[in-house]
Structure 1
Amino acid sequence: MTQPDPIPDQDLARHAQKMAKKKAARDRMMETKTGEKGLIIVHTGPGKGKSSSGFGMIMRCIAHDMPCAVVQFIKGAWDTGERRLLTTHFADLCQFHSMGEGFTWETQDKSRDIAAAQAGWEKAKDLIRDPDIRMVLLDEINIAFRYGYLDVEQVLAFLAAEKPPMTHVVLTGRGAPDSLIEAADLVTEMGQVKHPFRAGIKAQAGVEF
């Protein structure tokens, strides 16, 4: 295999000097970031990965021995990899509540969908109120807002009044309401560039669920 040409000493010196300046600036910035608080985190947008990112945060909590919980508002009827993993291996650290019954076009019963979403929110409130639970993932709750199953203003009022100071709450789903985005501490919008569904590829285990 051909070896790359050696980097000239002056280039190495310039790079080291540049990185030293960047590190010093970064260290000064980090010295000003000393606060901690429980965050309201929103993952939204048309792209894939909103729930996946939320479950990634749940796994981080588990790795740090931080009790956490998941409430699923729409996908509750699905047998997902996240659900299998958390209920089988980490039930002692993560409560998992599947409250949804599938998307509205599957149930075709709005009153039933509203009742399921309301029950999910009541469960979520109990979990959020518990100061020992450090993170609560409200998976696909933004869909419940969009269809009018839940009132976002009531949810925000509850979070402002009753969320313990160090509890993180993660809300996922496309179409997050503007008021939720305004109230959140961290908002990520997932964009979509390409998706295999458009090429006739169905949802697959390990990728979508």
Structure 2
Amino acid sequence: MILVNTGNGKGKTTASVGQAIRALGQEHTVAFGQFMKRDSQAGEQYMLHKLLGNLFFAPGDGFLTKPEQFAKHRATSEKLIWWAKERILDVDMLILDEVLYALSAKLITREELEEIIALARNNDTHLVLSGRNAPKWLIDEADLVTEMTEIKHHYKAGIPAQKGIEF
């Protein structure tokens, strides 16, 4: 199955981590890759390292904020694409967190993501994709799409990001 967690609200990564935990609880093998995110910054990364070992990979440089950063971010995205292709044949579930951000920022191409989707379908590997702005073609292709909608966020009231909540 192809599962997509998208929308402008909080919870996409959290839902993806929860899906990993559920699959692990059923003795499935899970690989979890994070686009954009630097390793060892968020609480889930610490736990995913403990649970998954080398089946967790977060080679990112943070979010793309300046055009001059594009080449560096593209290079780390390519590393994660190759890592995902190598793992997809050996796991029951592959999770690609923030892949939709990478797609909308053109750090990966539609063709690269479609190739991963085809590999997942051909190998009966569940594929979980997260990030904002899921394109229509992906929504049409997916088996399950969940949209997180922000109703209220403490950041807008001046409360900074909180450990264990945002990271």
Q: What TM-score, normalized by structure 1, do the two folds share?
A: 0.74
Gapped runs of 5+ residues in structure 1? 1-38
The aligned residue for residue 187 of structure 1 is 145
Aligned position for 1:79: 41
Q: Aligned residues, how many?
A: 167
- Deviation string 1:75-120 (CA, Å, 9 cap, x unpaired) is 13452111111223x236x711012110112795110011111111
3-state SS of 2:159 partner:
coil
Flag the 1:46–1:86 CA change in 2: closer, same or farther, 3 A.
same
Report what 1:102 is aligned to.
62
8 Å Cα contact 1:40-1:186 kept in structure 2: yes
- Cα 1:71–1:158 change in 2 (3 A) is closer
Letter in 2 for 1:71: G
What residue is the counterpart of 2:52 in the other structure?
A: 91
Tell me, yes or no, if the aligned pair for 2:120 and 2:126 is still in contact at 8 Å. no
Sequence identity, in percent?
Answer: 36
Quick check: which has more Rg, 1 or 2? 1
Structure 2: any 5+ residue segments left out of the alignment?
none
Counterpart for residue 65 of structure 1: 27
Rounded Cα–Cα distance in structure 1 between residues aligned with 2:158 and 2:148:
22
Confirm or deny that 1:206 pairs with 2:167: no
**In the alignment, what sits opposite 2:104?**
146
Alignment TM-score, normalising by the size of structure 2:
0.92
Give the 5 Å matches for 1:1-209: 39-88=1-50, 90-91=51-52, 95-105=55-65, 108-130=68-90, 133-161=91-119, 163-209=121-167
